[in-house]
Chains A and B, each alone.
Chain A
Amino acid sequence: MASYNLSHLKQLEAESIHIMREVAAEFDNPVMMYSIGKDSSVMLDLAAKAFAPGKIPFPLLHVDTQWKFQDMYRFREKVAQRYDVDLKVWINPEGKDVVGPFSHGSEKHTQIMKTDALKQALDHYGFDAAFGGARRDEEKSRAKERVYSFRNKFHQWDPKNQRPELWNLYNAKVDKGESIRVFPLSNWTELDIWLYLMRGDVPIVPLYFAAERPVVERDGVLIMLDDDRFPLLEGEVPMKKKVRFRTLGCYPLTGAVESEAETIEEIVQEMLLTTTSERQGRVIDSDGAGSMEEKKKDGYF
């Protein structure tokens, strides 16, 4: 007799698909935030499964800061074709071709080109639900976030006033102008993501794998010179190092790690044997304890 047991990964998949179908059924105008990262890749692949043999019934939205890695832009176009999905790209018109991390600093750049841009895009298209690929294990303040995370008209999150969430019954009721951020990967961990990707067939940006890349070391962080907008400081000499990225964002704000890992197995091996957590590479989190929480209250994903 069959045992009728599902592995943890199959259970997570089923849960994510359930959440996506709920959103597609209950909201008027949902969208999937697409960051081009590995979690986004998994989320998108699950969406394709959820609605097969049909098409994904909502568009993808990429909030483009204009400072992503070139590899990411190439990958984005390939993926939109592969999944036959409507990809929308939004660049904050107020900051377009003006604001950047070098001219305005990382904090202002992120605020204008990422947080503000996201809010603009959601308002512009009138999306009432937006999927995000965040996981609860990523960061402490995320541990308490709901799968359906309510945002007011100003896209703000109120951690003290969250809707209770029981069983797999999600409350999709919002008034006009309000929205829900939906996190279908809430219960996945970093290892789960890699285990899913390891089964093959789901493409991820090549930057996750180690290769010789031009980098400089700044404040102890290895930054890749991805285009000619990178102003070298006096005495700074680019060097070739075999590096990979654990997370992807704006290239001047994303630290690389030296690595030999060229396959997913090797990445996982390296990840398990290293002793620092994933977000360490992101400059944005180290502003202070609770910094992510502050950003999220303000509408950051």
Chain B
Amino acid sequence: MSDQEYRIQDEDLIRDDITAYLRKHETKDLLRLLTCGSVDDGKSTMIGRLLYDAKMIYEDQLAAVTRDSKVHGTTGGDFDPALLTDGLKAEREQGITIDVAYRYFSTDRRKFIIADCPGHEQYTRNMATGASTADLAIILIDARHGVVTQTKRHSFICSLLGIKHVAVAINKLDLVDWSEEVYEQIRDDYNAFVSRLGFSDIHFFPICALHGDNVVEPSDNLPWYDGATLLHHMESVNIASDRNLIDMRFPVQYVMRPNLDFRGFSGTVASGVVRAGDKVMSLPSRQTSKVKSVLLNGDVIDEAFAPMAVTLTLEDEIDVSRGDMLAPVGNVPTIGNEIEAMVVWMHEKPAMQGRSYLIKQATSLVPGVLTDLRYKMDVNNLRKEAGEADSLQLNEFGRCHITLHRPIAFDPYDRNRGTGSFIIIDRLSNITVGAGMIIDRVVREDSLGPKSKNIAEARGTVRRQDRENMLGQSGHTVWLTGLSGSGKSTIAYEIERQLTAAGRLCIVLDGDNVRHGLNRDLGFSADDRTENIRRIAEVARLMNGTGVIAIASFISPYIKDRQDAREIIGADHFMEVHIDTSLEVCEARDPKGLYKKVRAGEIPQFTGITAPYEAPDSPELKLATESLSAEDCARAVVAMLDDEGVLGADDQ
């Protein structure tokens, strides 16, 4: 921004034909976008550059910023474009943006609302806020650093909030000598991890925000780049097809009763199209009627579509009030009081399982209990975090089950932002503490939860703690994994013997005994192995719930399955022990003669030979059986249980 002369967009047209200019601007459309990047990626600079180059900065503002640059600027007194956007005094002094700020500018094709979101990682909450209404995300990457953890985090949050369009602005190209190779490397790196995030389009832009290259105007410094400029892309990205015009949903906001002859239902069309004559059902009451008229600003119109704010009248006097939803008969949303959702927590006071909150979804405000925190999501890699989650902290995402006091009408968020989103309000402080996106329950990852919607978990008054106190020990699972013949069973039974001798209640769950009963319907395919492990984990969890120590001895060759077992049982009660015996030694031992049969081709799938064994990366304990006796191995496990406090305070 060395050239600070003031220019006006479309100056000639404004001067010569103001009416034509205004007509153009009256019909332009609207794009909401969000910008995200790490602290020094140049985000504020880029927004400042967009505002400046699109000539949205007045001369007096420019003068004020130039003046402020000398006091607060980080550019050594030179013009600091970031100051065009950093709003609050406190932030200006700290040199960081701490809250979502909204910026406005337009060209003659589009008006843009920019949610300017801070890059600090503790401000996930702000990003989620900005992303909730955005159509497009601009993700800034510093060309010198490439794709970093925060880039991934920001992309994941955008994906979770349902943004479909991503523009990756690779900034500070000037500092890497305008290198095409650097640009391409970053592009490839980004594409490599982003593929499963469900973005419908991703575009890459090499830019230098500070000097304006390829932001609004093409740059001579980038002869190898022949794509659009960032602004041109923002003007042309097609968002019309993102809208759901199929499922008409009309959350009733306000019942209009100006006189005895008129009864209308006001609201904003959340999705779809509604016309006079449409047969509609009111939810959750399920009463039906026909749309008599559609009114906009008091005038009758033919049809209304999202996001128009209209008033509907109905043919029949059915019972409809605020919080109800109108939908076409034959295409109604889910109605229920059990909700599965991805929740982002926005308050210092963590979300607690079992606590009651107010849930605002569409126009309903209903009390609900956070009945189950199934798992947390690691937004750095979009994986489930291991272990039982009993609270959700500020800026964490978690998969939750919420039980509402009354049924509401809803759709999955990925199909309908308007009816699939909700906010969570603390009943005491009235503060918005979280936000959620409803998940379609039939998705694959739901298999960890109950399949039937009607299974409510029965909750008695006796707690796990009570049972554990009775036994003077804690329920815990020792999970032994290793190749066939590695010595798992021998060690398992030795652990059992030692614990029992010490007066502790425990039981061995062994591959062979489980497969003869509970799991006799399962074979050895990958799917069956997974189901086998799932059932065993559930049994171990029940046993642990009674205070019993379960010693599970299974080959359990897949990391994923053991991870699932850890989640089912709860990371705090789970000890993974790798019985680390080499394949050669196992085959030499061959206690059941299985290796011989495999080599003879009699067993088709056998772990370690024809099927994979994925050794644990970081088990709680690794036992090298080739140098330790079974007794020593068992002693090591028992000692570790004791260290964990599982065995109570008594002497052994």
Chain A residues with CB under 8 Å of chain B are 2-15, 17-18, 21-22, 24-26, 49-55, 136-137, 140-144, 159-160, 162-169, 171, 173-175, 186-187, 189, 191-192, 195, 198, 265-266, 268-269, 272-273, 275-277, 280, 289-290, 293
B14 lies within 8 A of A159 (CB)? no
User: Does any Cβ of A come within 8 Å of B11's Cβ?
Assistant: yes
Given A7-B27, A50-B309, A269-B14: A173 touches B358 (CB 8 Å cut-off)? yes
Chain A to chain B contacts (Cβ below 8 Å), 14 pairs = A4-B243, A4-B273, A7-B26, A8-B29, A11-B29, A14-B309, A18-B268, A18-B309, A50-B266, A162-B99, A164-B129, A174-B430, A192-B111, A272-B14
B254 lies within 8 A of A24 (CB)? yes
B18 lies within 8 A of A266 (CB)? yes
Q: Whole-angstrom distance from the CB of A148 to the nearest CB of chain B?
A: 10
Given A171-B423, A174-B430: A8 touches B30 (CB 8 Å cut-off)? yes
> Interface centre among A24, A167, A192, by most B CB within 10 Å?
A167
B240 lies within 8 A of A189 (CB)? no
8 Å CB contact of A4 from B99, B106, B264, B305? B305
Given A166-B128, A269-B15: A9 touches B6 (CB 8 Å cut-off)? no
8 Å CB contact of B18 from A22, A269, A275, A276? A269
A8 lies within 8 A of B89 (CB)? no
8 Å CB contact of A277 from B8, B60, B303? B60
User: Does any Cβ of A come within 8 Å of B102's Cβ?
Assistant: yes
Given A7-B26, A166-B435: A187 touches B268 (CB 8 Å cut-off)? no
> CA of A275 to CA of B61 in the docked complex: distance in angstroms?
9
Chain B contacts with A in 239-268, Cβ cutoff 8 A: 240, 243, 245, 253-254, 256-258, 262, 264, 266-268
Chain B hits for A159, CB < 8 A: 88, 90, 99
A187 lies within 8 A of B102 (CB)? yes
Other than the given A7-B28, A171-B432, A266-B18, 4 more pairs (CB < 8 A) read A13-B309, A140-B87, A141-B89, A276-B60
Chain B hits for A14, CB < 8 A: 268, 307-309
B307 lies within 8 A of A6 (CB)? yes
For A16, give the chain B residue with the smallest CB separation.
Answer: B309
Q: Mark B58-89, 1 if CB is under 8 A from A, else 0.
A: 11110010001000000000000000011111
Counting from the closest, the 6 A-B pairs by CB-CB distance are: A52-B298, A54-B258, A275-B59, A8-B30, A173-B430, A277-B58
Given A55-B258, A171-B423, A189-B106: A141 touches B11 (CB 8 Å cut-off)? no
> CA of A22 to CA of B18 in the docked complex: distance in angstroms?
37
> CA of A8 to CA of B430 in the docked complex: distance in angstroms?
33
A289 lies within 8 A of B64 (CB)? yes
Chain A hits for B478, CB < 8 A: none
User: Does any Cβ of A come within 8 Å of B100's Cβ?
Assistant: yes
B8 lies within 8 A of A273 (CB)? yes
Q: Mark B104-129, 1 if CB is under 8 A from A, else 0.
A: 10100011010010000000011011
B102 lies within 8 A of A54 (CB)? no
User: Does any Cβ of A come within 8 Å of B360's Cβ?
Assistant: yes
> CA of A268 to CA of B307 in the docked complex: distance in angstroms?
28
- Total interface residues on B, CB under 8 Å, equals 87
> CA of A49 to CA of B322 in the docked complex: distance in angstroms?
19
User: Does any Cβ of A come within 8 Å of B22's Cβ?
Assistant: yes
Q: Whole-angstrom distance from the CB of B381 to the nearest CB of chain A?
A: 24
Given A189-B106, A276-B58: A195 touches B18 (CB 8 Å cut-off)? no
> CA of A186 to CA of B125 in the docked complex: distance in angstroms?
21
B253 lies within 8 A of A25 (CB)? yes
Chain A hits for B365, CB < 8 A: 26
> CA of A21 to CA of B59 in the docked complex: distance in angstroms?
38
Chain B hits for A9, CB < 8 A: 26
Chain A hits for B106, CB < 8 A: 8, 189, 191
Q: Whole-angstrom distance from the CB of A292 to the nearest CB of chain B?
A: 10
Q: Whole-angstrom distance from the CB of B490 to the nearest CB of chain A?
A: 56
Given A273-B8, A273-B15: A167 touches B298 (CB 8 Å cut-off)? no
8 Å CB contact of B132 from A166, A187, A195? A166
User: Does any Cβ of A come within 8 Å of B194's Cβ?
Assistant: no
Chain A hits for B68, CB < 8 A: 289
Chain B residues with CB under 8 Å of chain A are 6, 8, 11, 14-15, 18-19, 21-22, 25-30, 58-61, 64, 68, 85-90, 92, 98-104, 106, 110-111, 113, 116, 125-126, 128-129, 132-133, 240, 243, 245, 253-254, 256-258, 262, 264, 266-268, 273, 295, 297-299, 303, 305, 307-309, 311, 322, 346, 358, 360-361, 363, 365, 417-418, 421-423, 425, 430-432, 435
Q: Whole-angstrom distance from the CB of B108 to the nearest CB of chain A?
A: 11
A52 lies within 8 A of B297 (CB)? yes
Given A25-B322, A159-B99, A269-B15: A3 touches B254 (CB 8 Å cut-off)? no
Given A7-B29, A269-B15, A280-B60: A164 touches B110 (CB 8 Å cut-off)? no
Chain B hits for A11, CB < 8 A: 29-30, 307
Chain A hits for B418, CB < 8 A: 167-168
8 Å CB contact of B125 from A3, A26, A164? A164
Q: Whole-angstrom distance from the CB of A30 to the nearest CB of chain B?
A: 12
For B243, give the chain A residue with the smallest CB separation.
Answer: A4
Q: Whole-angstrom distance from the CB of A267 to the nearest CB of chain B?
A: 10
> CA of A119 to CA of B28 in the docked complex: distance in angstroms?
40
> CA of A289 to CA of B21 in the docked complex: distance in angstroms?
34
For A137, give the chain B residue with the smallest CB separation.
Answer: B104
Chain A hits for B129, CB < 8 A: 164-166
8 Å CB contact of B360 from A53, A162, A171? A171
B360 lies within 8 A of A169 (CB)? yes
B18 lies within 8 A of A268 (CB)? yes
B308 lies within 8 A of A21 (CB)? no
Given A198-B22, A280-B60: A8 touches B307 (CB 8 Å cut-off)? no
Chain A hits for B243, CB < 8 A: 4
Chain B hits for A13, CB < 8 A: 309
Chain A hits for B125, CB < 8 A: 164
B258 lies within 8 A of A165 (CB)? no
Chain B hits for A4, CB < 8 A: 240, 243, 245, 273, 305
Chain B hits for A168, CB < 8 A: 133, 268, 418
> CA of A191 to CA of B21 in the docked complex: distance in angstroms?
12
Chain B hits for A25, CB < 8 A: 253-254, 322, 363
Chain A hits for B305, CB < 8 A: 4
Chain A hits for B245, CB < 8 A: 4
Q: Whole-angstrom distance from the CB of A265 to the nearest CB of chain B?
A: 5
Chain B hits for A18, CB < 8 A: 253, 268, 307, 309
Q: Whole-angstrom distance from the CB of A58 to the nearest CB of chain B?
A: 12
For A175, give the chain B residue with the smallest CB separation.
Answer: B430
Q: Whole-angstrom distance from the CB of B579 to the nearest CB of chain A?
A: 49
Chain A hits for B14, CB < 8 A: 269, 272-273
Chain A hits for B22, CB < 8 A: 195, 198, 265, 268
8 Å CB contact of B421 from A22, A143, A167, A276? A167
> CA of A293 to CA of B101 in the docked complex: distance in angstroms?
14
Chain B hits for A275, CB < 8 A: 6, 8, 58-60
Q: Whole-angstrom distance from the CB of B413 to the nearest CB of chain A?
A: 10
